[in-house]
Amino acid sequence: MPLIQVTMIQGRTPEQKNAFFEQVTAVAAETLGVKPEQVRVVINEVPAEHWCIGGLSKAVIDARNAAKG
């Protein structure tokens, strides 16, 4: 039973996450030769304030980009 864990920044819609679940499950089942019912997918969502890129949080980067216009 494969377990696929994904960490991403919060903000995706339930529809986006459901589409992601479907696609990842399909690829994993085909690639690993298992039934879709055997595949588990977990999304761990992280607030933008807790996601760092190059020493700055994603929230700060987004705020700076918004200020630039």
Contact 9, 51 (CB under 8 A): yes
Contact 59, 67 (CB under 8 A): no
36 is catalytic: no
Radius of gyration of the chain (CA): 16
* 44 SS3 class: strand
**Of the residues 2, 14, 36, 47, which is catalytic?**
2
Q: Annotated active-site positions, please?
A: 2
